[in-house]
Amino acid sequence: MSSLKYKISVQVETAYLEHQSSPSEHRYVFAYTITLRNEGAVPAKLLTRHWIITDANGQVQEVHGDGVVGEQPHLHPGQGFRYSSAAALETPVGSMQGSYQMIADDGARFDAPIPVFRLAIPGLLH
C-alpha cells in the first residue's frame, strides 16, 4: 500500500458546556477537541483555518484565521497535535465543518478537510 505524500487526519470530540450556556438567552456553548495527525510522507505546517458553523435555524457563521489556538503546529510524519476550543450557537443543535490550510516542507500547499460533526445537547437527539 502506498502512502499519500500529503495527508492530515482530523478527529473530533465534542462536549456541551452547560455552565457557560444560557438557554433562556438562546446561547448554547460547545467545546470541541481536535486531534490532527500527519499521516503523509512529508512534514507540514498548519497555516490557517476555515470553519463553517451552522445552527438549527440554518444560520451560518464562517470563521477564517491564522493557526489554531494561537499556534501553527509543524507536524512530522506520524506526529500529532491536539487542541481544544469552543463555539457558541443560538440553538441546542448545530454542526461544524471546514478545513485547515497546510504547507508541506517541500513547498506544496494543501487542505486538510475537517469532516462535518454535530454539536448537540446530550439526550436531545437519539
Per-residue pLDDT of the chain (126 residues; tens, 9 = 90+): 445 899 999 999 999 999 999 999 999 999 999 999 999 999 999 999 999 999 999 999 999 999 999 999 999 999 999 999 999 999 999 999 999 999 999 999 999 999 999 999 998 765
Cα–Cα distance between 71 and 82 in angstroms, integer? 11
Would residue 18 be called left, alpha or beta, if left means φ above 0 and alpha means ψ between -120 and 50 degrees? alpha
Three-state SS sequence of 66-86: ECECCECCEECCCCEEEEEEE
Cα–Cα distance between 75 and 38 in angstroms, integer? 6
Is pTM, for the whole model, over 0.75? yes
Q: Which domains does the chain have, with CATH numbers?
A: 8-120 (2.60.40.1470)
Give the per-residue pLDDT at 123.
Answer: 85
Give the per-residue pLDDT at 3.
Answer: 55
Give the per-residue pLDDT at 12.
Answer: 97
Q: Which amino acid is at 114?
A: I
